[in-house]
Amino acid sequence: MLDLALVRRDPERVRDSASRRGLDAGFVDRVLELDTRLRALRTNVETLKAEKNALTERIARAPNRAAAAEALRPELKALDERIAAGASEIPALAGEIEQMLGDVPNVLDPRVPVGRSEEDNVVVKQWGTPTSLPFTPKPHWEIGEALGILDFERATALSGSRFTVLRGEGARLSRALINFFLDRAAARSYLEVAPPFLVTRETMWSTGQLSKFSDAMFADASSDLFLIPTAEVPLTALHRGEILSGETLPLRYCAYSPCFRKEAGAAGKDTRGLMRLHQFEKVELVWLTLPERSDEALQKLVADSEAVLAELEIPYRVVDLCSADVGFNAARTFDLETWLPSQGRYREISSCSNCTDFQARRSGIRFRRAPTARPEFVHTLNGSGLPVGRTLTAILENFQEADGSVRVPDALIPYAGFSRIGAPPASPQGNGTT
RNA sequence: GGAGAGGUGGCAGAGUGGUCGAAUGCACUCGCUUGGAAAGCGAGCAGACCCUUUAAAGGUCUCGGGAGUUCGAAUCUCCCCCUCUCCGCCA
């Protein structure tokens, strides 16, 4: 949520950010107008209330309270009427402002490149060279199905489209990746958390997942609980409503979780394979920082995410998302994209965002610089470190060999317990089922 | 799911209609004291919003949430949420 004070203080900045995102900035004037009216109303009502409170106190101090109450009754009644009249409009006005403000995305960092689509994202770094294979690379779903480790057909029978079943080494590799990711995060001083995968509407709202633009969530209507679309939600909201002491910052959390997304707006996109499913698994990284440290934290977060990919020897690049592509909560986002040989291009695997005080304001996560200082909002950041399915995709595609087998990256072998999926037929030891 | 108890400031814990945003203790901040510390002493110490150049002063609201009774509600009434104990069920 935007700071209303910011809209008042620097409307131009808010307008500019909205139009860079390709949104109509008309809400700024509307909010300012409503706000002016609201404050005038409130001041008026509060003055009347102060008058009433003074009279009430006079009754309390009177030697004969009943008589005093009786004497002041007409005056009090008149005040009550004026208060009620003035107050009647307040909830609607406040609600309208709240709603408008709640639907406005975060103010972009001035450094975010201006653009109209993901085409305008700026590549800031490339690691490794795109894998070139001496044969025609197969897409990961073909590799996985041929190896018997991915089963889309049975998944569809169980749950419909956009699900998969992992089998054998596929399932084990998935489990290995989760442990690998968590261990690497822990080594970089993230505290591992095992959060709930279902959260309340308030929690979902507090991290900015429930705006009017979002219908991406699976939910249980009878209990009003939502399946998390990412562990960012419970991790960021972990300290909701708290006032932290400044010296505990930064707080760094990581969590494994399944993620559930309707992918309603993605019809026709990535309909095959693991890239876009209704359910996937991920290890998420979250920071709560001092405001002046969040920029630096974003760099570290990206580096933490990168380190895992590099250790897995997967060629990737880092892109600075342009104004049209930065999400609702974020002021600035860097995506990591891995090379997919079958598509001959880089595809998103991780998104690392600085949400500044946007989520913190919605969630009421504050801190004090000193024990007697005023509370301020923290800055929150989140990034994938990493998703299992897309990492598996990158491994299958980049490490595929001509015989259809797939090498396991060295770093993962201790976790997986095997070094290759689908041993070459020439090797008599390999029985393919491990 | 059933029965009972309870939700008050960072924590503990008073407060059952009036000058209570709330005693007291602990914690915390500042000062005094001390060679230094502890103890002791003094002062301060919830949040949001409004007003305000800053500060100060002031105003409104908040004692789980919402609605109500009353001139006046932490205190009374109703609804909801949550926690704890016992029973039932269960991985």
Nucleotide nearest to A39 (CA to C1'): B50
CA of A322 to C1' of B34 (A): 63
Listed in order, strand segments (DSSP E) in A355-423 are: 366-368, 375-377, 379-387, 406-407, 420-421
CA of A371 to C1' of B53 (A): 27
Q: How far apart are CA A417 and CA A419, in angstroms?
A: 7
Nucleotide nearest to A76 (CA to C1'): B71
Identify protein residues whose C-beta is within 7 angstroms of any atom in strand B.
A 4-5, 39, 42-43, 46-47, 49-50, 52-57, 59-61, 65-66, 69, 72-73, 76, 80, 243, 366, 371-372, 374-375
Q: How far apart are CA A106 and CA A361, in angstroms?
A: 11
Q: Which residues pair with A280 in a beta bridge?
A: A259
The total of other beta-carbon atoms located within 10 Å of residue A145's CB is 16
Listed in sequence order, the residues at least 6 apart from A85 whose beta carbon sits closer than 8 Å to its beta carbon are: none
Please report, for chain A, the start and end positions of each structural domain, with discontinuous segments joined by +: 4-102, 118-421
CATH number (3.40.50.2300, 1.10.287.40, 2.40.50.140, 3.90.230.10) of A4-102 reads 1.10.287.40
Query: Taking the C-alpha atoms of A352, A354, A355 and A357 in order, what is their torsion angle to the nearest 10 degrees?
Result: 160
Q: How far apart are CA A105 and CA A101, in angstroms?
A: 9
Per-position DSSP letters for A220-234, written without gaps between them: ETTTTEEE-SSTHHH
Contact A165, A154 (CB under 8 A): yes
CA of A310 to C1' of B45 (A): 51
Q: How far apart are CA A312 and CA A339, in angstroms?
A: 13
Residue A145 has a pLDDT of: 95
Structure tokens at A428: 């008599």
How wide is the angle at C-alpha A231 spanned by C-alphas A207 and A339, nearest 5°? 110
Residue A138 has a pLDDT of: 94
CA of A57 to C1' of B22 (A): 17
Indicate if the alpha-carbon torsion angle A316, A319, A324, A330 is positive or negative.
positive
Nearest to A296 by CA among A267, A332, A268: A332
Structure tokens at A292: 């002046």
Residues of chain A with pLDDT under 70: 211-215, 424-434
Q: Which CATH class is domain A118-421?
A: alpha beta
Nucleotide nearest to A77 (CA to C1'): B71
- Residue A125 φ/ψ region, left for φ over 0, alpha for ψ in the -120 to 50 degree band, beta for the rest: beta
Nucleotide nearest to A200 (CA to C1'): B81
Contact A151, A425 (CB under 8 A): no
The total of other beta-carbon atoms located within 10 Å of residue A99's CB is 11
Residue A214 has a pLDDT of: 60
Residue whose pair of structure tokens reads 């994209």 in the numeric block = A337
Q: How far apart are CA A270 and CA A261, in angstroms?
A: 14
Nearest to A103 by CA among A21, A185, A161: A21
Q: What is the 3-state secondary structure (H, E, C) of A234-254?
A: HHHHHHCCCEEEHHHCCEEEE
Structure tokens at A159: 């749950």
Per-position DSSP letters for A317-330, written without gaps between them: EEEE--TTTS-TT-
Residue A426 has a pLDDT of: 53
Nucleotide nearest to A46 (CA to C1'): B60
Structure tokens at A248: 């505990």
Strands A243-245 and A366-368: parallel
CA of A270 to C1' of B22 (A): 61
CA of A245 to C1' of B41 (A): 29
pLDDT tens for each residue of A256-313: 999 999 988 777 888 899 999 999 999 999 999 999 999 999 999 999 999 999 999 9
Nucleotide nearest to A370 (CA to C1'): B29
CA end-to-end distance (rounded Å), chain A: 51
Q: How far apart are CA A177 and CA A169, in angstroms?
A: 12
Q: How far apart are CA A402 and CA A183, in angstroms?
A: 32
Residue whose pair of structure tokens reads 């653009």 in the numeric block = A115
Catalytic residue IDs of A: 261, 276, 348, 351, 390
- Mark the nucleotides of strand B covered by protein, meaning any atom under 7 Å from a CB: 10, 18-19, 28-29, 44-45, 47-51, 59-61, 71-72
CA of A238 to C1' of B67 (A): 31
Residue A434 has a pLDDT of: 43
Element (H, E) at A308: helix A294-311
